[in-house]
Amino acid sequence: MATEKLSCYAKFLETSKPYFAMISLQFGYAGMNIITKVSLNQGMSHYVLVVYRHAFATAVIAPFAFIFERKGQPKITFKIFMQIFILALLGPVIDQNFYYAGLKLTSPTFSCAMSNMLPAMTFVMAALCRMEKIDMKKVRCQAKVVGTIVTVGGAMLMTLYKGPIVEMVWAKHTHSHDKSNATTKTGPSDKEWFLGCTFLIIATLAWASLFVLQAKAIETYKNHQLSLTSLICFIGTIQAIAVTFAVEHNPSVWRIGWDMNLLAAAYAGIVTSSISYYVQGLVIKTKGPVFATAFSPLMMIIVAIMGSFILAEQIYLGGVIGSVLIVMGLYSVLWGKHKERIETKVDDIPMHVKDTQIDGNASLTSDATNYFIEAKSSDDGEANNHLSSVVINMKASQEGKN
């Protein structure tokens, strides 16, 4: 009895690992947004923050890439170098600088809500690059298109309409007793808010472009993803240094001590640019990209609660309605991608499996399809061999019953 309970408990823990991992990751991302907002409010240059963040990330990731992936490294040709150079420009430089600038002018909750546009933006970019085929006769394509339109509509609503302040139940007491707080007295002006929204949209577009281009780069670095990440972070750090020297002419902006600025840079570099890459990669490998992306709105909720407690953040009605629309559009796009992924794997099933019959009537397609999809998700190279064995065993079992 005790052995069965232990077995059930161990099975539950094993099944729950991806859920705990993604929930923990959202708390990590939420903490980054709050800490970064505090650092930016204290006057740290977001250009310098980007430099230090990716310097920390490079220092953390590079040793692991050297230890685990030093064998069989792809040769860096001019074409591959340019791919990595553009990836670094899109990610560490454009995306992060515009995101931090937008975060400084708006709020952590608002920035997180805008980042949920990523799947829809990626779909648009992939469609423009003809990496996505749109067939409006299929429900999954309709879901992706409608989801994209709803997401963009939610973002536009958040950009153009603020509305009245929505008081959180737990924040009323804090706001009424903290009148000296500048954030409570006066939020960002409408002009700053609009500019911040524009920066966040540009950052999301750059991030989406990075995903599209990264799909090509990963073809070369399929077995060396840590190395690719290290190179992107390293070259991005050099690019960010050049941008900072061009924009910031005061040498004092580089000064950093044992304060919130150092914590923000180290936290962002180690947690959200190093650990998150590894954890997210493991989850995507076992559960797929749709599962990993589906947890994004949780970060927005965590940040809204933390921001309200720690920063006395003001949340506007336009932001709440826009966030709901963005999340609805997000899940519509993710549902369409999920259905597309299943259809693609079903199409890959070998013909000898699709045509397998038992007693000339009953087909093995349903059971074999499910097994094949699981095998494809875990190991493409072995799926067909495993599936052939399963078909033979299933036929033998059925014949034994008859």
Domain count, the chain: 2
Q: What distance in Å separates the CA atoms of residue 74 and residue 224, rounded to the nearest whole number? A: 8
- Domain extent, residue 258, equals 18-118+174-315
Q: Is the pLDDT score of 19 beyond 70?
A: yes
Same domain, 360 and 216: no
CB atoms within 10 A of CB 126: 16
Count helices and strands (H / E) in the chain. Answer: 19, 4
Instruction: Tell me the pLDDT tens digit for each residue of 226-275.
Output: 888 889 899 999 999 999 999 998 888 898 888 888 999 999 888 887 78
283, 378: one domain: no
Q: Which of 315, 338, 366 is the last residue in one of the domains?
A: 315
Choose the final residue of a domain: 315, 338, 369. 315
Q: Minimum mean pLDDT among 52-56, 61-65, 86-90, 219-223: which range?
A: 219-223
Do residues 393 and 300 share a domain?
Answer: no
Cβ pair 200, 105 in contact under 8 A: no
Residue 7 lies inside a defined structural domain of this protein? no
Q: Return the number of other C-beta atoms located less than 10 Å from residue 288's C-beta.
A: 16
Q: Which of 53-62, 185-194, 316-325, 348-357 is predicted with the least confidence, judged by mean pLDDT?
A: 348-357
pLDDT in tens, 316-368: 888 888 888 888 988 888 888 778 777 776 665 555 555 554 444 444 444 44
Q: Which of 41-55, 154-168, 374-388 has the highest mean pLDDT?
A: 41-55
3-state secondary structure 260-322: HHHHHHHHHHHHHHHHHHHHHHHHHHHHCHHHHHCCHHHHHHHHHHHHHHHCCCCEEHHHHHH
> Do 288 and 362 have their domain in common?
no
pLDDT at site 97: 93
Q: What are the φ/ψ torsions at residue 181 (nearest 5 degrees)? A: -70, 125
Q: Pick from 315, 340, 361: which residue ends a domain? A: 315
Residues 214 and 359 in one domain: no
